[in-house]
Amino acid sequence: MKITTLIENDLAHGVNNLEPEFGLSLYIESDRKNILFDTGKSGRFIDNAKSLGIDIKTIDTVVVSHAHFDHTGGLKRFLKENKLAKVYISEHVKSDYFYRPVSFLKKYIGIDKEILEDNMDRFVFVNENVNLQQGVDIITDIQHNYKMPSDSKNLYKKNNSVFEQDNFNHELMLTIEETGKLFVFTGCSHNGILNMVDTVKLKNPDREIIVIGGFHMFNPITKGMSEKKQDVIDIASIFENDSDISKIITGHCTGKKAFKVLSSVLDKKLEVMNTGSVFNF
- Cα 130 to Cα 103: distance, rounded to the nearest angstrom: 37
Distance CA 206, CA 8 (A): 31
Predicted local distance difference test score (pLDDT) of residue 31: 86
pLDDT at 183: 98
Helix extents (H) in the chain:
44-51, 69-72, 75-81, 113-118, 193-203, 229-240, 256-266
Residues 79 and 149: their CA atoms lie apart, in Å, by 32
pLDDT at position 238 is 98
Q: Cα–Cα distance between 63 and 86 in angstroms, integer?
A: 9
Q: Nearest CA to 199 among 217, 174, 166, 224? A: 174
Cα–Cα distance, 25 to 4 (Å, whole number): 9
Q: What is the pLDDT of residue 105?
A: 85
The model's pTM is 0.97
| Identity of residue 108 | Y
183-193: b (≥16 Cβ within 10 Å) or e: bbbbbbbbbbb
- pLDDT tens for the chain, 281 residues: list them: 999 999 999 999 999 999 999 999 999 999 878 999 999 999 999 999 999 999 999 999 999 999 999 999 999 999 999 999 999 999 999 999 999 888 778 999 999 999 999 999 999 999 999 999 999 999 999 999 999 999 889 999 998 888 999 999 999 999 999 999 999 999 999 999 999 999 999 999 999 999 999 999 998 888 899 999 999 999 999 999 999 999 999 999 999 999 999 999 999 999 999 999 999 99
* Cβ-contact 256, 8 below 8 angstroms: no
Q: What is the pLDDT of residue 47?
A: 98
Give yes or no for a contact between 18 and 48, defined as CB atoms under 8 angstroms apart.
yes
Catalogue the E-assigned strands of 50-172. 61-63, 86-90, 96-102, 105-108, 123-126, 130-133, 136-139, 155-159, 162-165
Question: Rounded distance, CA 74 to CA 76, Å?
Answer: 6
**What local confidence, expressed as pLDDT, does residue 93 receive?**
97
pLDDT of 241 reads 97
What integer pLDDT is reported at residue 221 of this predicted model?
83
* Total length of the chain: 281
Tell me the torsion sign for CA atoms 76, 78, 81, 85: negative
How far are the Cα atoms of 9, 193, 201, 236 from residue 207, in angstroms, in the given order?
A: 31, 17, 8, 19
**Which residue segments constitute the domains of the chain, with CATH numbers given?**
2-280 (3.60.15.10)
